[in-house]
Chain A
Amino acid sequence: MKAIAKSLGDFLVDRTESLENIKIEEYFVQYSKDKITRLLDTEQYIFEGSRGIGKTMLMKYASIQANKSFGQDSILSVWISFEESIRLERIKVVGDGVDPFLQWTMGKILHEVLKSIISLKPRSMDQLSGRLSKIFCYPATTNFEQYSKLLSEYLDLLEKGDIRDSLKLMEEAPSSELSKILDNPGSFKKFLLGLVNDFELNRIVLLFDEAAHVFSHIQQEKFFTFFKSLRDPKIACKAAVYPGITNYGKYFEKGQDAKELSIEWSPTIKGDIDYIKDILKKRILTFGEDAWRKLNENPEIINTICVCSNGNPRFAFHIIDELDSSGAFTWNRRINMQLVKNSVRKVLDSKWKEFTTLKNRLVKYSKYIDEAEKLVKEFLVKNLRDWNSKRIAIGKSPSAGFYVATSLYEKIPQVFEVLAYSNLIIIDYRKKSIGHGHYGYYMMLNPSILIADLILETNDFQKVSVAIENNQAYYLTTNHMADLVNMLKESNEYNCTNSSCNFKTDNEDFKFCPSCGNPIEIPQAEPLYKILRSHSVESLKLSDSIIRRLKEKFSTVGEIYDATIDDIRMPYIQDVRAVKVKTAAIEYMAG
């Protein structure tokens, strides 16, 4: 039977989590050695970057390199992803019961640390230890494998979330000793330091991926308080977060409790464009030389794809995938710019659809998401197109963005942050003077929007200027912006729980009523976990034929999320597709 040929899509796998270590090393393109050094040094870092820009790739590569030289440097580097955290909202915290979120977070960290230590053990070590132990009549060292198995079972228990409350969880824990170590950040840290001592490690480096993004608001606060408490010369923590939408809580100060490290990219910097080109080259050459040759027949084609990526390799992969679907690589003629622009538009459309569905996940941001889309499509793009056409006509530098006065930004930060989170705009958070005593932030539109909407051509990006005199600026007084601010004004009201008292306030700091002393009613948001679970199976990113079959057995995302692979199996959906379905549900819940 002939083996099934691989498609270009197999080489453009867009989630690093799906790549094996050997592929990560093969596909990795070195751009900033400094970042890898910082990811492995002794400092705490918040590692910022928008979705798909390469944070996971960098973290995993750094971890692989550290573990390769573990025999020399004794630096244990552990990559930890928090995708499954959302299940824990199910378990109620009751009385003196252990906090399931803390238990799970610390348990997950410890489990991954033990797995790493065990995986780094040379094959022949046990055999040699036994022999040397006999030669020297000296006892052999401890075995951590049993401990790892116990933790793994406990984590399964937490992740399935079939426990009613935290008191029941204490009963189900494999040992009370384990629960105690995992409940208290202090004792957990002590245990980690014990491991460092036993193995005489230089340090442990913990690389937290999907930190905060997948956590609920309250979990985010707990996580960063915990993150801060781990600080030690022998324990270095780095957390990858999305800028703008992370809640650090009251006790964590970015810059003070952790340094900041970010991945930035600009379509105006040739080196940045070449970096994306190198990534694409590695992947596509693995598939075949012809595809790469076709993309490079006209340099403008490959440059356009790289510029439109906006520093996000995943976006570039989608454009190339779209070109492949339209037959560009199988035709006998050259790929033309029109085809590339059409592909960019299609991928951008999908991105906007994805942006809209963010309302399901970022519930607090749902009204901002609607207005942000309108702001870009109906106001900013039109303004920029008009601005540029006038300026290019008189030979002046074009613009790729605009300034937003800090006073305006501070009124509606959520609008801009949610766009930045989705990589639709890039915000430069350095305050710049924009004249008349005002300061502002420069924001650039995603280049794919600029190219798809014919605001700029690929070659124009080298001529773009960020100077204030070459860009528009928006203030609180700008008509459209003033209307937007008024529309989005927060109108939360908090009432006194005493039905006879008429006190109301919009200030959320009030805990007790100043009139009668009774508690103020705090509206409880429905847990995100519950909301996402209730969404229809159709919300998942799967083909129509798979969705149709899944609907015969499952009606909600939550049912699939809870199901095992065996439960999911059915005619047409066997091993490979069943795993694909399960992964789609996990990714949907994790966002």
Chain B
Amino acid sequence: MSYPKIQFKSNIMEPVIGIVKNTLDDNDFTKMMEWLNTLLTISENVGLKDEEIGSLMQEVSSDCISSIYIATSGFYRQAVIQLRSILEVTCNAFYYLDHKIEYNLFMSHNAKSDRYVSKLVNDHHFYTTRYITAFFGKIQEIQTETDSVSKKLTTLYGDLSDIVHGRSASFTKLSQITIGYSKEKFKFFEVLLHRSLSLIVLLYALRFDDFITDGVLDLAKFTMAVRV
């Protein structure tokens, strides 16, 4: 092996393997794997309803797996970047599900990929009460407040963006580069993962009126945007 390869193996791969081992030894992965399984299930279900949007959801699934793996390896900020990306792609997927012309422009004519979550909510009323009413008439009975879902989306997106852009008070401020296992940061990631996947699952549950699929109800409840 060449020196650079040996260097990469000894100085990057092996420490990361150590971090993964510490993370596995020190944490319970049961819940995370259950949430991941629910995400994979709903992605498959979306694919059955709409093949094109299903492929976007496959990307979401893949990004979620990598986010969990990255966090387990000690790269917490990068894992959160993935979470923000997952949220963006999912919101776009559900937006395009009902906006086929915009989707066509996006895919065929290389339209700008600027449908950030906040833009979707502010400019297109994405998952506001009146938006949801179009496909889920009972929303007013179960929402915890008007526009609860879109508000939760905006708040979460804001929190994730703060971390990504280095505005978070304690999460990513580094006086020097150290990459190592931190239970506190891993737990923090787990909380953000839970929030993100819960909202994603809620978008699906409302869009397709499916609270029965295994794991969906628990995650939907966790958002506290709806009473189910």
Contacts and interface: CB of A to CB of B under 8 A. Distances in A.
Given A128-B37, A131-B37, A131-B40, A122 B30 contact: yes
Contacts of B215: 124
Contacts of B144: none
A74 B21 CA distance: 13
B133 interface: no
A128 B62 contact: no
Chain A, interface size: which category? 10 to 19
Given A135-B62, A135-B65, A128 B28 contact: no
Interface string A165-190: 00000000000000000000000000
B36 A128 contact: yes
B33 interface: yes
Nearest to B26: A72
A124 B35 CA distance: 10
A127 B37 contact: yes
B30 A128 contact: no
Contact of A124 (B25, B28, B34, B65): B34
Given A122-B34, A135-B62, A128 B40 contact: yes
A71 interface: yes
A296 interface: no
Interface string B11-46: 000000000000001011110011011101100000
Contacts of A128: 33, 36-37, 40
Nearest to B33: A128
A348 B40 CA distance: 63
B214 interface: yes
Contacts of B62: 135
Contact of B28 (A71, A123, A125, A132): A71
A125 to B, nearest CB: 8
A65 interface: no
A122 B33 contact: yes
A534 interface: no
A555 interface: no
A122 to B, nearest CB: 6
A124 B33 contact: yes
A71 B29 contact: yes
Contacts of B38: 124
Contacts of A127: 37, 41
A330 interface: no
A69 B30 CA distance: 10
B107 to A, nearest CB: 24
Interface in B24-83: 25, 27-30, 33-34, 36-38, 40-41, 62, 65
Contacts of B34: 122, 124
Contacts of A69: 28
Binding site secondary structure of chain A = helix
A135 B40 CA distance: 11
A124 B214 contact: yes
Nearest to A132: B65
A136 to B, nearest CB: 9
Contacts of B65: 132, 135
Nearest to A123: B214
A72 B41 CA distance: 25
B27 A72 contact: yes
Contacts of A123: 214
A124 B29 CA distance: 13
A69 B214 CA distance: 23
A124 B25 CA distance: 21
A289 B93 CA distance: 57
Contacts of A125: 33
A51 B33 CA distance: 44
A153 B208 CA distance: 47
A419 B65 CA distance: 63
Interface in A358-403: none
Residue with the greatest number of chain B CB neighbours at <10 A, chosen from A69, A125, A127, A128: A128
Interface string B197-228: 00000000000000000110000000000000
A125 B41 CA distance: 13
A124 B27 contact: no
Contact of A71 (B30, B36, B40, B214): B30
Interface in A133-189: 135
A124 B28 CA distance: 16
B39 to A, nearest CB: 10
Contacts of B25: 74
A131 B41 CA distance: 10
A125 B27 CA distance: 17
Nearest to A136: B65
Nearest to B41: A127
Contacts of B29: 71
A69 B27 CA distance: 10
B204 to A, nearest CB: 17
A124 B67 CA distance: 20
B17 to A, nearest CB: 14
A253 B28 CA distance: 39
B59 to A, nearest CB: 12
A132 B214 CA distance: 18
A156 B214 CA distance: 36
A528 B224 CA distance: 64
A131 B42 CA distance: 13
Contacts of A132: 65
Nearest to B35: A124
A122 B214 CA distance: 13
Contacts of B30: 71, 122
Interface string A56-73: 000000000000010110
A135 B66 CA distance: 12
A72 B183 CA distance: 13
A127 B25 CA distance: 24
Contacts of A131: 37, 40
Interface in A107-140: 122-125, 127-128, 131-132, 135
B48 to A, nearest CB: 15
29 contacts: A69-B28, A71-B28, A71-B29, A71-B30, A72-B27, A72-B28, A74-B25, A122-B30, A122-B33, A122-B34, A123-B214, A124-B33, A124-B34, A124-B37, A124-B38, A124-B214, A124-B215, A125-B33, A127-B37, A127-B41, A128-B33, A128-B36, A128-B37, A128-B40, A131-B37, A131-B40, A132-B65, A135-B62, A135-B65
Interface of B: 25, 27-30, 33-34, 36-38, 40-41, 62, 65, 214-215
Which 8 pairs across A and B sit closest by C-beta, in order of nearness? Answer: A71-B28, A72-B28, A71-B30, A128-B37, A124-B37, A131-B40, A124-B34, A122-B30
Given A69-B28, A71-B29, A127-B37, 7 more contacts: A71-B28, A124-B34, A124-B38, A124-B214, A127-B41, A128-B37, A128-B40
